[in-house]
Amino acid sequence: MAYLTACEKNKIRADRLKYNIEKQGISKVNVLVEDARNLSSYFSFDKILLDSPCSGSGTIYIPDDKLEKKFTNELVQRCVKTQTQLLKKAIELLKPHHEMLYSTCSILQEENENQVKKILETQKVELIPIEKSLFAEIPLLPTSIEGTICIAPTELYEGFFIAKCLKKE
């Protein structure tokens, strides 16, 4: 049996998440209206899915006339800062020899591969390669880290990135 803890700092989004969980008949889920960066170090987790806030570059509709105002370098840099903090906290709370999946709906290297490279450099985690054959029918973008996946945005798919890591000792 699994117990899930979900963190969502936005109350409206947390309430929507609770509603969807209940609608699906799922029990044993605790939704915290909390910024995960502020979780107590008393928490520890067997597995973590860090679906990190990002620029959304993999979901952008190009003809959007407000794109230049919404999608800025400042947005990307703010996201990178948040992602770095969330990754640090996730590694802290992940039990040794357990896995974390890092994902964004971005296709930008600074939000994806660069973030993974930073955490690999800490020597606390190692990459678990994701088998590309699992995505044989899905268009992929090249990544600078073998074993990570970046889905290309198309008319059928939004773009996103995933990397799987194992916490060492």
- Positive or negative torsion for Cα 25, 28, 32, 38: negative
Report the 10 Å Cβ neighbour count for 111: 24
Catalytic residue among 54, 79, 105, 150: 105
Contact 29, 16 (CB under 8 A): no
Contact 130, 147 (CB under 8 A): yes
CA dihedral 16, 115, 45, 38 (to 10 degrees): -60
Q: Is 105 a catalytic residue?
A: yes
| Residues carrying an active site annotation | 105
